């Protein structure tokens, strides 16, 4: 709103205030209709019903939520919902969520999601969609779950993997970097104050999780009253604020063992940066991922800054293709902010079209697993590459690669969808870069 409001701005502002007072808000928070198709321990798989007049077509999309964050991250509000957008395009859309975490779930570690929840959801989606391969899309920690799952079992029927706002070098996260010297003071025997606290509480409680998320956008939190006053005439802006407030209010807790793994290994040890993660009795190597991978970073993301996300790229040398995009927005905004409708979602649409209607990468049933060995991973990668079918259609001009671009700064442009829509990143061993 202008410093001296125009008459139409005054009318709009008055209408917004009256609507909020009379109806309690401006945002249309109705969830997209969905049906439960499978469930298990800490796993609920939903299929979103097609919109009237829109027939489902193409390979299915599975949305993987992070722990602690509510599944409404993908269905924030009508008009600004990734689920609604996918359904409008006729894509079969599914979502896996985990329910409320309680004290009895304190013994669950990350391996429960990487070995059980996400793989089971992928197989069930493939079966429900008639045996088609699945585009797996994970946001934040959901992206870590997705990538580790794809690395742990390359035989899963995965068409492509998309990770949004997924940090792989936490030393570059502004909230963590100043605390690293303090984290190193915690005894190595695992009996420090932080360890004792989450063991006693059974994990990270909901208020702590909510506070940590709000702290990541502290500046916006402080200036929020001014922003509201300046945008009283902007219905879409005010509706978005309401939807984000609802999202933050519905944060949940972390299970104790999972929180311990995140603290000791990812925050304190920064193991994701190495490309190898030990879960249970075996090592998961990100270099085992053979499916195409799309990686998004938010230009203003305080939880997963561009550098922290970019650290993933060197570990994707075996992926059939790797694409890296920097898009506007913070941690949630890059996924389902108002600008995401013309940036992130358009890039995702292009990616899903590019890698759809191809044979599944492997059988729907998971083979017996053995402890991961590096040599076995390399052999699996080579055989998967030989078996992978070539794309029938030529790539669009806008999706050509720039050789050796993985170490370059992304190009910028005001007219671009992302700040680097024409650039792919990966190692010279990637099949797509070798073409």
Please compute the mean of the pLDDT values over residues 292-310 and round it to a whole number. 95
Average pLDDT, whole number, for the chain?
75
- Do the Cβ atoms of 114 and 136 come closer than 8 Å? no
Please compute the mean of the pLDDT values over residues 152-158 and round it to a whole number. 96
Which residues are CB-neighbours of 104 under 8 A, at least 6 positions away?
none
- Do the Cβ atoms of 212 and 176 come closer than 8 Å? no
What pLDDT, on the 0 to 100 scale, is given for residue 287?
95
pTM: 0.72
What pLDDT, on the 0 to 100 scale, is given for residue 370?
40
> Quick one: which of 338, 329, 307 has its CA closest to 236?
338
Counting Cα atoms < 13 Å in the Cβ hemisphere of 182 gives 8
Third-level CATH fold of 31-181+271-434: Rossmann fold (3.40.50)
What pLDDT, on the 0 to 100 scale, is given for residue 117?
94
Lowest mean pLDDT among 5-19, 125-139, 324-338, 402-416: 402-416
Residues composing the chain: 435
What pLDDT, on the 0 to 100 scale, is given for residue 108?
76
pLDDT > 90: percent of the chain? 42
Please compute the mean of the pLDDT values over residues 357-376 and round it to a whole number. 46
> Does residue 371 carry a pLDDT above 50?
no
């Amino acid at each position: 709103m202008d410093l001296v409001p125009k008459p139409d701005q005054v009318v709009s502002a008055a209408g917004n205030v009256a609507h909020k007072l009379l109806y309690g808000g401006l945002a249309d928070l109705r969830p997209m209709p969905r049906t439960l198709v499978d469930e298990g321990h800490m796993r609920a798989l939903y299929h979103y019903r097609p919109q009237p007049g829109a027939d489902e077509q193409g390979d299915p999309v599975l949305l993987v939520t992070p722990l602690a964050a509510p599944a409404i991250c993908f269905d924030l509000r009508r008009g600004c919902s990734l689920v609604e957008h996918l359904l409008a395009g006729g894509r079969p859309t599914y979502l896996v969520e985990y329910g409320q975490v309680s004290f009895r779930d304190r013994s669950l570690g990350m391996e429960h999601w990487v070995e059980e929840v996400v793989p089971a959801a992928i197989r069930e989606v493939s079966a429900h969609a008639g045996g088609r391969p699945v585009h797996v899309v994970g946001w934040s920690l959901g992206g870590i779950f997705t990538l580790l799952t794809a690395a742990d079992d390359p035989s899963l029927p995965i068409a492509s993997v998309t990770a949004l706002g997924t940090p792989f070098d936490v030393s570059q996260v502004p909230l963590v970097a100043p605390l690293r010297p303090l984290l190193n003071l915690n005894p190595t025997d695992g009996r420090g104050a932080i360890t004792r606290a989450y063991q006693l509480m059974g994990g990270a409680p909901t208020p702590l999780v909510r506070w940590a998320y709000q702290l990541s956008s502290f500046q916006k939190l402080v200036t929020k009253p001014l922003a509201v006053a300046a945008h009283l005439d902007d219905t879409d802006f005010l509706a978005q604020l309401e939807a984000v407030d609802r999202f933050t209010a519905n944060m949940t807790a972390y299970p104790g063992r999972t929180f311990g793994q995140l603290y000791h290994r990812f925050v304190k040890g920064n193991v994701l940066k190495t490309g190898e993660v030990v879960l249970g009795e075996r090592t998961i190597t990100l270099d085992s991922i053979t499916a195409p991978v799309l990686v998004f970073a938010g230009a203003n993301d305080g939880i997963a800054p561009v550098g922290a996300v970019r650290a993933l790229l060197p570990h994707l040398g075996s992926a059939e293709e790797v694409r890296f995009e920097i898009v506007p927005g913070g941690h949630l905004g890059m996924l389902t902010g108002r600008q995401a409708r013309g940036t992130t979602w358009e890039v995702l649409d292009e990616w899903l079209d590019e890698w759809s209607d191809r044979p599944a990468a492997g059988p729907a049933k998971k083979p017996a697993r053995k402890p991961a060995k590096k040599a076995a991973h390399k052999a699996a990668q080579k055989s998967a590459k030989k078996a992978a079918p070539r794309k029938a259609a030529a790539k669009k001009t806008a999706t050509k690669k720039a050789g050796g671009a993985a170490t370059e700064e992304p190009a910028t442009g005001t007219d671009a969808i992302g700040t680097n829509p024409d650039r792919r990143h990966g190692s010279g061993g990637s099949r797509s870069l070798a073409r």
